[in-house]
Chain A
Amino acid sequence: DIQIMQSPSSLSASVGDRVTITCRASLSISSFLNWYQQRPGKAPKLLIYAASILQSGVSSRFSGSGSGTEFTLTISDLQPEDFATYYCQQSHSTPRTFGLGTKVEI
């Protein structure tokens, strides 16, 4: 199975900050890496797929990069609605493993 290591597990930031979250895969997954946002009590929401493609309707403050084994999610100009938990997921093969999540707190 492909393991996904996500870091950090949590971070504190302020409105207007730029934050970066990293995911590392245990072997190459090409660009089969997706990012989701989950607000408390809500279902996850797809932000970015194929490592860097912004899902329709998602703010351009979100961006993704990487390929192979190392990937990053960057949130620019952090807004109050961005305080949530973020998960990466590999969809290269089953089981489609998720990272453990990064909680972005004020």
Chain B
Amino acid sequence: EVQLVESGGGLVQPGGSLTLSCAASGFTFRSFGMTWVRQAPGKGLEWVSTITGTGIYTYYTDSVKGRFTVSRDNSKNTLSLQMNSLRAEDTAVYYCAKDSDYNSCSDYWGQGTLVTVSS
């Protein structure tokens, strides 16, 4: 059974940093791309970042480029999102999701972790 468990969310001041983690199990982690999607309170879904299975290629939405860094440790089946220079508009529930090997959809999702950026 595929399981994705996010951790690391919390309250952080504007300009601060936070690192989210996603522990994966139930599939061959290194074989699949992984994605972060966020959802601001009461709002829709926003794609944030994707990393390929090898970790060689990474992709970001414009609003986080230069501030967020996605990475993975295939030896520990762990996905990470390092978030720097956080802004109030980064406040959201952050979901990690496993990419399908077909059509680049996200076929399994974690339960999410809440990041609140506020003074």
Interface residues of A (CB under 8 A from B): 31-32, 34, 36, 38, 43-46, 49-50, 53, 55, 87, 89, 91, 94-101
Contact = CB atoms under 8 A, between A and B. Distances in A.
B45 A87 contact: yes
A91 B112 contact: no
Interface residues of B, number: 23
Interface string B81-119: 000000000000001000010111111111110000000
B27 interface: no
Interface of B: 35, 37, 44-47, 50, 59, 61-62, 95, 100, 102-112
B46 A98 contact: yes
Contacts of B47: 89, 94-98
A87 B95 CA distance: 15
Given A36-B45, A94-B59, A95-B47, A43 B110 contact: yes
